[in-house]
Amino acid sequence: MIDCFGDPCSSHCPQNSDSQLSILENSELSVCSYNFEFRSYQHHKGDLPGELLVNGNCIEQCVTAHNNVTEVANFIQNVLQYQPTNGSTAQYICSINCVENYDQIEWQYAAWLDPYEQAIFGQCMVNGKLRSLAVAQDIVAHEFFHGLTYQIVGLDYYGQSGALDESYADIFGILVANFQNSDIETWNWELGSGFGDNGRAIRSLSNPAIYGQPEHMNNYRILPDFDDYGGVHYNSGIHNKAAYYLLSSQDAEGNYLFDATSGATLFYLALSQLSKQSVFSDSRRAIQQVARTLFRQDSSKLEKLRAIATAFDNVGIGDNIGIFE
């Protein structure tokens, strides 16, 4: 997502025309999807974001990817009602079919590029065919919520603050992917199904351990700087599990205390309470503080507050976890 600070953002998205019917842009939501045509984003940074006019080798997956970005933009603008603080217009830019090096087609990663304020998506072989990571709605949401977090708070991407950044992106990936399903009992809590090892998912909020992540602060590991920025993708499982406990919490009668909208609003508003070096305990305090206001007229307010406290207690995130940084 791009917040254009005083720049004419419309120049990023040429208007559609009769001669360019395959241009992937949504002017209403300011969404543009580009085909990077398997060029190296490291060696061709000047060519980002790529080609709006999609060629035949990309049409099906590029259209799916564009639809996914559009859904994310709609969620951010109309569900969360996000507006840039300076009054500018948020734009949502992605490049599909990116690679890292020359002579490379398979690149099993996706990323948010802060300097370019856009998402990029690679692809991997699935059943003998290249499949873009951008066809997975939760992966697309994950990357664009890195962008939203970057715009709102700019968490330092290292150690526990970096793990918090990863966790919020995972949480919103799950929320976007399940948003149309009102039955929380049947939600899919896995992220990136089909893109992990042996066709599995990449991570799970409900069971981080099956993908090698810790689920409790007792297993938090301080990793070297060079190892995944101090373990941002590893330790995020702890905060993810707390989010799972929170979003799936029930009252005494077995009714879910939160729905997709209230859960998304809770985590979104908590973001604005964080600072660059916030850690897991800061997130707990922010969520509790937001909940007191958000649910102040809710008859189940006390149950919701207890559920939030229990969710974080269950993973060992208390109010004084700063010793881990």
Catalytic residues, by residue number, are 143, 233
228's tokens: 């995944």
Query: Could you tell me if 223 and 147 are in contact, meaning their C-beta atoms sit under 8 angstroms apart?
Result: no
49: exposed, middle or buried (C-beta count within 10 Å: 0-12, 13-18, 19+)?
buried
Owner of token pair 């992990």: 196
Query: Could you tell me if 50 and 95 are in contact, meaning their C-beta atoms sit under 8 angstroms apart?
Result: yes
Residue type, 147: G
Q: Which of 158, 1, 191, 229 is nearest to 93 (CA)?
A: 1
Integer-rounded Cα Rg, in Å, for the chain is 20
CA distance 116 to 45: 9
Q: Which of 71, 283, 62, 26 is nearest to 176 (CA)?
A: 71
